[in-house]
Amino acid sequence: MYRLLAILFLLLHVNSAHADAGPTPPPVEAFAALPRIASLQLSPSGRHLAVLRNQNGQTYLDTRPVTGQETQQVVTADNHKSSILWFRWVNDERLLVWILIAGMRGTTDSAKARLIAVNRDGTQRNDNLLEQAASLQIPGENYFSHMQDRMIGGIPGDPKHVLTALDTERPLSPDVYQLDVYSGERQLVETNPGLQSGPRTVLQWTADREGQIRAGVGRFETTVRVIVKPPGSNKWREFAGYDMAKETGLMPLAFDADPAWLYVRDQHRGKAAIFKVNIAGDASVDRILVAADPKYDLAGELVYATGRRKVIGVRYSENDLRVLFWDFDAQRLQARIDRTIPERSNVIHSSSADGRLHVVKSGGPAHPPQFFLFDERDGRMVLLGKTYPDLEGADLPAPKPVTWTASDGKELHGLLTVPRGSVPYQLPLILFPHGGPASHERDAFNYWTQWFVSRGWAILQVDFRGSDGYGDEFVRAGFQRWGLEMQNDLTDSVQWAVHTGLAKRDRICIVGAGYGGYAALMGAVKRPDLYHCAASLGGVTDLSQIVADSRWYLNQKQVVESRIGSWWSDRDRLRDASPLYHAQDLRTPLLLMHGAMDRAVPVSHSRDMAEALKATKATTYHYVELPFADQALSREQDRVQVFAELEQFLRSHLD
């Protein structure tokens, strides 16, 4: 039926579809530029704004009055030697800023998070608030703490101090300190107690709303333990434990106003849901289901009511604008904002302490996000900034949710985006698998997708098994199935697109980054008949190497092996599922790109792949190495180069 309707639509509109090629699409730079505004945060009084912005490839943290235009530049990062991770107001005068600095960990490229404190006028700047933490000496080793970004939270009524976790006494065993945000002086408030079984130390701490440390989580290999300290007690007790290789268990999130009640994330009918548990009781019995979705995980952070210590909702995921509210006042405020900015996804990004002023981030799949200031008192909504101003006015298409069935009967979901004015029939198609692989496609603005579509190509994004957001069973269906069922899901997706008439069979390419790059290479290995070309950005090429490299990172080896496979006992399967060992079979036109500063997938993966292809005397590949690019393409010039290389490559095979 779908195919018949598409053909009829094509016959009715074929003349108009080809009579006008349409307006000239925006240039590459309009999509590849770093967002002009990345974040906006109100100071506690609501009188000042801190603005994280990008310009000419540089990132700046500025401050300015809410009612004025005069700005003060307080921190700058070049996105090469350093980048700004995030920031927060401590009080109306002082900001904390987390900087990521490129470095080495032994012989491996790494990065160090460092904490800067600075006044909003740029004065009293301390470029390393925790510099004294570097003094810990270990026999035979000069130890420098990598745990300088583990902020636990503020202290009510204390504008001068915050709580932070820092491993100054024992490596990788953080204690909790009260930190003076002006002088850097620290006072120990909680010593890491270790754990009686499994993990030997607590790695993650949670404070109640009064600033008292009451929960901790430790992990060693795949064993997870949760400890709590109930009100009125000075002793820690084990509250929950599980093997994360076999199940997904309880994880503390935050406390309610009553410190006896802890919000946690745990499984409910196969999906991640939100519960309240009484830490003085039994975690498996004394609990209340607060929020659940029958179809999707609730995997994001909790949302608090401004000026109150009350939890009012939860985000669906870290990067999802959707919030599930269970508080009536919050629902009413959200409805009021949505009436002011209709047909967009609107989320409160920051608020003043009195709850009167809110920074609202508003956007949608076809609408690059914008930031507004909303005044609850008079209902005014004032535009503060745009993330992609060069795309304003462009007629961007919105992706459509699609569902189909894999060859083994599993239901798959994805997003389909077609160029404006195109008939969804016999289109050149790009299959665009996401990275992770434990991620999922979001119905939100995606600069990659919009750039592809602006060039005239349809885009199919797939949530293959192993993607998160659809429940624990769906995620675990991808464990140790790289190159197997996970890859088959992508194959089935292409065949669905061909059988429905959407895709032109000899004009299909697969493009991806990270895991998506791996999937692109394996697609070309396993099904060269389906793909006219393939492009990999920072793709994994050797699964055994990924597993072997994991031993250099804290507690990662067993986790990686549970998800990918054992370096020794699964070596034959890992080799068979690695593109590197199938170079002789790769004759599909291939574009390999990799950033030399990629710390998630070392550049050696693509270098080795290029050498293996060269040894086979292959002539259908092109390797591009970006000397200063990282995994996220944090530098604007790297994004522009990647898009330019992709455009030249894809046009030669899809147009």
Between CA 268 and CA 279 the distance in angstroms is 19
Contact between residue 208 and residue 214 where contact means Cβ atoms under 8 Å apart = yes
The percentage of the chain sitting over the pLDDT mark of 90, rounded to a whole number, equals 77
Choose the CATH number for 2-28+395-542+578-654 among 3.30.1600.10, 3.40.50.1820, 3.40.640.10, 2.40.50.140: 3.40.50.1820
pLDDT single digits (tens) 247-295: 999 999 999 889 999 999 999 999 999 999 999 887 777 899 999 999 9
Report pLDDT for 338.
Answer: 96
SS3 249: coil
Contact between residue 565 and residue 574 where contact means Cβ atoms under 8 Å apart = yes
Q: Which two tokens stand for residue 521?
A: 């290479």
Cα pseudo-dihedral 481, 485, 487, 490, rounded to 10: -140
Rounded to an integer, the average pLDDT of 47-73 is 94
Report pLDDT for 554.
Answer: 64
Give yes or no for residue 242 having a pLDDT over 80: yes
Between CA 66 and CA 46 the distance in angstroms is 7
SS3 142: strand
Between CA 243 and CA 246 the distance in angstroms is 6
Give yes or no for residue 31 having a pLDDT over 90: yes
Rounded to an integer, the average pLDDT of 162-169 is 90
Between CA 169 and CA 581 the distance in angstroms is 45
Report pLDDT for 133.
Answer: 46
E-assigned strand segments in 106-212? 108-119, 137-138, 141-142, 151-155, 158-166, 175-180, 186-190, 204-207
Report pLDDT for 306.
Answer: 77
pTM beyond 0.95, yes or no: no
Instruction: With residue 546 as reference, give the H or E element that holds it.
Output: helix 543-549
Between CA 177 and CA 171 the distance in angstroms is 15
Give yes or no for residue 195 having a pLDDT over 80: no
Identify the burial level of 285 via C-beta atoms within 10 angstroms of its C-beta, where 0-12 means exposed, 13-18 middle and 19 or more buried. exposed
Give the strand order in the sheet containing 271-278: 251-255, 261-268, 271-278, 287-291
HEC assignment per residue over 214-234: EEEEEEECCEEEEEECCCCCC
SS3 579: helix
Between CA 165 and CA 190 the distance in angstroms is 9
pLDDT single digits (tens) 127-160: 878 865 444 444 444 455 555 668 899 999 999 9
| 48-52, 130-134, 514-518, 548-552: the lowest-pLDDT one | 130-134
Cα pseudo-dihedral 95, 445, 433, 630, rounded to 10: -30
Place of tokens 């991770």: 85
Give yes or no for residue 91 having a pLDDT over 50: yes
Report pLDDT for 244.
Answer: 93
Residue 27 DSSP one-character state: P
Alpha-helix residue ranges (DSSP H) falling in 261-369: 328-340
Buried b (16+ CB within 10 A) or exposed e, 323-344: bbbebeebeebbeebeebbeeb
Place of tokens 């505004």: 37
Q: How many CB atoms lie within 10 A of CB 383?
A: 10
Report pLDDT for 14.
Answer: 36
Phi-psi region of 284 (alpha: psi -120 to 50; beta: other; left: phi over 0): alpha
Report pLDDT for 317.
Answer: 86
Between CA 374 and CA 359 the distance in angstroms is 6
Residues across the chain = 655
Report pLDDT for 104.
Answer: 54
Handedness of CA 496, 471, 554, 144 (dihedral sign): positive
Amino acid of residue 405: T
Q: Which two tokens stand for residue 400?
A: 């459509």
Report pLDDT for 322.
Answer: 82
pLDDT band at 4 (very low <50, low <70, confident <90, very high): very low
Between CA 311 and CA 615 the distance in angstroms is 59
pLDDT band at 308 (very low <50, low <70, confident <90, very high): low
Between CA 340 and CA 337 the distance in angstroms is 5
Report pLDDT for 292.
Answer: 96
Report pLDDT for 22.
Answer: 59
Between CA 359 and CA 352 the distance in angstroms is 9
Distances (CA, A) of 67 to 37, 47, 373, 376: 18, 8, 11, 16
Between CA 150 and CA 64 the distance in angstroms is 27
Rounded to an integer, the average pLDDT of 310-337 is 90
Contact between residue 303 and residue 321 where contact means Cβ atoms under 8 Å apart = no
Rounded to an integer, the average pLDDT of 31-47 is 96
Instruction: Report which listed range, 16-30, 276-290, 436-450, is most confident.
Output: 436-450
Give yes or no for residue 6 having a pLDDT over 80: no
Domain ranges of the chain: 2-28+395-542+578-654, 193-326
Rounded to an integer, the average pLDDT of 380-389 is 96
- Higher-confidence position of 568 and 320: 568
Rounded to an integer, the average pLDDT of 64-93 is 92
Distances (CA, A) of 480 to 117, 181, 371, 465, 521: 44, 45, 42, 11, 18
Between CA 436 and CA 434 the distance in angstroms is 7
Report pLDDT for 134.
Answer: 46
Report pLDDT for 145.
Answer: 58
SS3 604: helix
Instruction: Report which listed range, 123-127, 420-424, 513-517, is most confident.
Output: 513-517
- DSSP letter string, 446-469: -HHHHHHHHTT-EEEEEE-BTBSS
Report pLDDT for 217.
Answer: 95
Q: What is the mean pLDDT of the chain?
A: 90
Report pLDDT for 139.
Answer: 45
Report pLDDT for 376.
Answer: 94
Contact between residue 574 and residue 582 where contact means Cβ atoms under 8 Å apart = no
Instruction: Compute φ and ψ for 96, nearest 5 degrees.
Output: -110, 135
Report pLDDT for 107.
Answer: 52
| 109-113, 177-181, 240-244, 462-466: the lowest-pLDDT one | 109-113
Q: How many CB atoms lie within 10 A of CB 391?
A: 21
| 16-20, 325-329, 579-583: the lowest-pLDDT one | 16-20
Distances (CA, A) of 350 to 31, 41, 320, 457: 26, 5, 16, 37
Contacts of 501 (CB under 8 A, 6+ apart): 2, 3, 6, 7, 425, 426
Between CA 38 and CA 51 the distance in angstroms is 8
pLDDT band at 108 (very low <50, low <70, confident <90, very high): low
